[in-house]
Amino acid sequence: MPMLSDFISLFFPQYCSGCNALLIQSEKAICSSCFIELDRFKCQTAKNKFVFGRIEVEEYVSAFDLIKDSVLHKILHNVKYRNDKKSANILGIELGKRIKQLKLHNKIECIIPVPISKKKLKRRKFNQSEEIAKGMSQIITAPVETNWLMRKNNLKSQTFSSRLQRAANVKEEYYLNKKKTLQQKCLLIIDDIVTTGATIQSCLEVINKDEYSIYIASVAKTQKD
């Protein structure tokens, strides 16, 4: 006998975020062949005492290497610009598994997604890093904290500012919510993609390193030689 979920998928077909193929019942957001494809880009190593700018963290872990025009590239684009919350969640689960493999899950007390401004949140409906963090917390049992590390609204449009000015602006965009006291001391900061590391560095600059041990994880990192 057909199940209710079969009828639902008949009327609301779901398509793969990586290749647009029609998903079958057991697949969620990403089809199984895209998952196999993703496997090829798994990051094998974590980086101990990794440095962002001049700031050292305990460890930096990325689930995947980001290759231009790859399936992952497409999925992350859909997450960021097409409200693909489900894929963000699934990538978060994958990142969580990676953290667990590396046996870091027992150390992490709190997961902190890189924040976006309230203005941007309104426009985009959700913060992709937060969805990734939520997926991850299904694998490693640490709470997700979104009310401590915050991002300011841009004071003015950056469209016409120079690259240098933009970089300077980014530096001052994060702050800690003074009304919130964080009990946990071992933190995992989550971002979707790490490219130059400038965003993570800006976040780290507002956190007191004597007080917290900090781990960083991203779904993808761009390869640098």
Q: Interface with Zn ion by CB under 5 A: which range of 29-37, 57-65, 84-92, 110-118?
A: 29-37
Question: Is residue 31 a contact point for Zn ion (CB under 5 A)?
Answer: yes
Q: Is 34 in the site for Zn ion (CB under 5 A)?
A: yes
Q: Find residue 7's DSSP bridge partners.
A: none
CA distances from 113 to 18, 71, 133, 137, 191 (A): 23, 23, 6, 11, 6
Residue 125 DSSP SS3: coil
In the complex, the smallest distance separating the C-beta of residue 18 from Zn ion, rounded to whole angstroms, is 4
The C-alpha atoms of residue 139 and residue 153 are separated, in whole angstroms, by 32
Site membership for Zn ion, residue 74 (CB under 5 A): no
Q: Applying CB under 5 A, does 18 fall inside the site for Zn ion?
A: yes
Residue 112 engages Zn ion in binding (rule: CB under 5 A):
no
Instruction: Report the SS3 class of residue 155.
Output: coil
Residue of 9, 14, 19, 198 that binds Zn ion (CB under 5 A): 19
CA neighbor of 212 nearest in space, from 181, 175, 184: 184
Residue 219 touching Zn ion (CB under 5 A) = no
> In this chain, which stretch among 34-42, 54-62, 119-127, 158-166 interacts with Zn ion, using CB under 5 A?
34-42
Q: Measure the CA–CA gap between 52 and 54, rounded to whole angstroms.
A: 6
* Chain contacts with Zn ion (rule: CB under 5 A): 16, 18-19, 21, 31, 34
